[in-house]
């Protein structure tokens, strides 16, 4: 007969599952260097267009940018190529976005980008508080995440997806954490900015545009951009939780 043990059961670490999935994803064809350079260049152009469309200077040289969930660092590299002071943080850096204080000074960042990260977190509380802490007043937070309204059939095909969002819940999330001027639109790339302001922009991006952005090269660019994903931005305002405030 086995003797009873007094060992305390270990609490499963959800980050381990994310690490394993991340390792497999980074080894996939999508993360070949030349593919990532092309994709992240398009991401850079879209974020720049979004910021300019909302009245800021955009991603100009000297902009201090923090990319949370930086994966292989391709986006950070593109930003640096454009003269930005960019830094990335990921789980591989030992940072847990759900509980850790970011190793970044208060009010030291102009733009925080969170691309395909927030849906992997059981709670966004720490991420939102920390993003607001490190942003300067008037700085921007940009989030990209699947829109559960349109992506519900595939959302849980990724075993590390935990928390879904819609355009409404993400807008409310920004407001709950004291961000101002939330602007929540479909993730469409290389398209005129006026498409973001269409009355039914999300339905237009999902059902009217016929092909995804990664469609074969022979598909004309104006027919690409089909999307069930959210692109969101909001502005950081005076934060009473900052040190010394």
Give me the pLDDT at residue 30, please.
55
Give me the sign of the Cα torsion angle 236, 239, 242, 244: positive
Structure tokens at 9: 């059961």
Q: Which residues lie across from 231 on neighbouring strands?
A: 144, 185
Stated as kind and residue range, the H or E segment containing 79 is: helix 74-81
Instruction: Tell me how far apart the alpha carbons of residues 241 and 36 are, in angstroms, rounded to a whole number.
Output: 37
* Cα dihedral 192/197/199/201 (nearest 10): 60
**Distance, C-alpha 73 to centroid of its chain:** 14
Q: Any long-range contacts for 93-96 (C-beta under 8 Å, 24+ apart)?
A: 96/15
Question: For residues 236 and 126, what is the distance between their CA atoms, to the nearest angstrom?
Answer: 15
Tens-of-pLDDT digits for all 245 residues of the chain? 555 555 545 555 556 555 555 555 555 555 566 777 888 999 999 999 999 999 999 999 999 999 999 999 999 999 999 999 999 999 999 999 999 999 999 999 999 999 999 999 999 999 999 999 999 999 999 999 999 999 999 999 999 999 999 999 999 999 999 999 999 999 998 889 999 999 999 999 989 888 677 677 777 776 777 889 999 999 998 754 444 33
- Break the chain into its structural domains and give their ranges: 14-235
Q: CATH assignment of 14-235?
A: 3.40.50.150
């Amino acid at each position: 007969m086995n003797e009873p043990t007094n060992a305390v059961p270990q609490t499963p670490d959800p980050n381990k599952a994310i690490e394993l999935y991340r390792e497999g994803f980074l080894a996939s064809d999508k993360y070949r260097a030349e593919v990532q350079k092309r994709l992240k260049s398009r991401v850079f152009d879209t974020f720049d267009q979004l910021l300019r469309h909302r009245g800021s200077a955009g991603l100009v040289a000297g902009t201090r940018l923090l990319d949370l969930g930086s994966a292989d660092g391709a986006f950070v590299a593109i930003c640096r190529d454009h003269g930005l002071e960019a830094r990335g943080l990921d789980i591989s850096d030992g940072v847990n976005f759900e509980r850790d204080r970011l190793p970044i000074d208060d009010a030291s960042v102009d733009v925080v980008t969170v691309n395909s990260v927030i849906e992997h977190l059981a709670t966004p509380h720490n991420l939102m508080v920390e993003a607001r802490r490190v942003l300067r007043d008037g700085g921007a937070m940009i989030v990209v995440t699947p829109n559960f309204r349109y992506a519900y059939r595939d959302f849980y095909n990724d075993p590390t997806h935990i928390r879904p969002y819609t355009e409404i819940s993400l807008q409310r999330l920004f407001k709950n954490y004291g961000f101002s001027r939330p602007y929540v639109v479909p993730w469409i790339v290389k398209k005129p900015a006026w498409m973001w302001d269409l009355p039914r922009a999300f339905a237009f991006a999902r059902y009217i545009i016929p092909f995804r952005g990664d469609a074969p090269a022979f598909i004309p660019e104006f027919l690409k951009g089909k999307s069930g994903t959210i692109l969101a931005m909001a502005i950081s305002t005076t934060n009473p939780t900052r040190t010394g405030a």
